[in-house]
Amino acid sequence: MNNKLKKLAATFILSVSILLVSPMVFAAINVEQTLDLINQPNIELEVQRGHVEIIGWNNNSVSVKGQRDELSQGFIFEQQGNTLIIEDTLPKSYSSKNKSGSNLVIFIPNNTQLNATGISANYQVKQLNGNINIALVSGNIKAENLTGEIQLNSKSGSINAQHLNGTVNLESISGEITDTHTSGKATYRVVSGNILSKASKVTDLAINSVSGDITGTHLSVEKINTVSISGDIELALSDAISDAFFDTISADVTLTFHTMPNAAFNIDGAANGRLNNQLTQDQPIKQAYSLSAKLKFNTGNAKGNIKINTVSGKIALLKASK
């Protein structure tokens, strides 16, 4: 987490722990501003709470419309050199009873570099191409039709991504990650949340989970590296796979192949009777004086490599039903 996000998290903790008693009545303030840009500046956006919708357009200008936070102390909307700053500023501490927050719709150039932060704000972003970084504490992120270097991070909020393309990094500690129709290179990281990928076109994939389950259809993936501790893995793959590594502890692994891979399989650690191989007639060999077993076999021309290491987990290698 970057320093700016750490400061925001600290402000949030302070805010919810201190209840300010005040007779003042707060009301949201409307904002409607447009700024023509000089060149293509990086955009720094900070909205602590509420809802923010960011939409890419073909103009070399930025438009902001909606309502500021009811506790807003000011609205920064200005270009400083090569940086455009958009910020709905709040007090250093405020009562958690005032929960409505900002409600903003922001149009920015399609090709841009965006760095957005928030605490409990929910962000929706779509139709952008560039370096896109969104980091939240407890807010949710919905991303659609993004291309480029994409990094979406919410500590306890969910991430819902559709039609992303490029180098994609999705990360949450306790939130769910749902990804649909993403292509390119992707990395997913969760601690206690689940990961669901649908109709993925990713070719290079890395997944890291501590206790969340991993489910996905990855028929285009060529390279995959997956590490899971106590979170089950259930993936659909194809003959596109050329390099796969699965490392698990207390997690079951189910790989369903829609087309037979051309790979050398190397499986280590599955206890006898806990490995279900429906790809070939090969069966695991139990190790002497050990509950573990090993299995090596080839399919097709065996040009690729699929390695599975597991401790106390079941493994199933299946053929998809036609």
Residue 188 pairs in a beta bridge with 170, 207
Residue type, 244: A
Q: Kindly state the tokens that stand for 131.
A: 């370096």
- Tens digits of per-residue pLDDT, 200-210? 999 999 999 99
Which backbone phi and psi does 290 adopt, to 5 degrees?
-150, 150
**DSSP classification of residue 191:** S
Three-state DSSP state, 173:
coil
Integer Cα distance of 160 and 291 in angstroms: 41
Tell me the per-residue pLDDT of 107-125, one tens digit each, with 9 for 90 and over.
999 999 999 999 999 999 9
Buried residues in 77-95 as b, exposed as e (16+ CB within 10 A): bebeeeebebbbebeeebb
What is the structure's pLDDT at 26?
A: 52
Strands 102-109 and 61-67: antiparallel
pLDDT of residue 189: 97
Q: What is the average per-residue pLDDT within 45-66?
A: 97
Cα atoms in the 13 Å half-sphere on the side-chain side of 136: 29
Average pLDDT over residues 167-186: 97
Express each pLDDT in 273-307 by its tens digit. Answer: 488 999 999 988 776 666 677 899 999 999 999 99
What residues contact 38, with CB distance under 8 A and at least 6 apart?
79
Q: What confidence score (pLDDT) does residue 273 get?
A: 46
Residues 236-264: what's their mean pLDDT? 97
Lowest mean pLDDT among 62-66, 165-169, 286-290: 286-290
Scanning the chain, the segments in alpha helix (DSSP H) are 3-17
pLDDT tens per residue across span 88-108? 999 988 765 666 799 999 999
Report CA dihedral (255, 259, 263, 269) to the nearest 10 degrees: 20
Pairing of strands 223-229, 243-249: parallel
Q: What is the pLDDT of residue 175?
A: 96
In the predicted model, what is the mean pLDDT of the chain? 90
**pLDDT at 293 (0 to 100):** 79
End-to-end C-alpha distance for the chain, whole angstroms: 45
Q: Does residue 17 carry a pLDDT above 60?
A: no
Q: Which amino acid is at 306?
A: I
Please say whether the beta carbons of 49 and 102 come within 8 A: yes
pLDDT at residue number 16: 44
Give the pLDDT band (50/70/90) at residue 21.
very low
In contact, 295 and 309? CB cutoff 8 Å: no
Sorted by where each begins, the domain ranges of the chain are: 1-12+31-94+102-157, 169-322
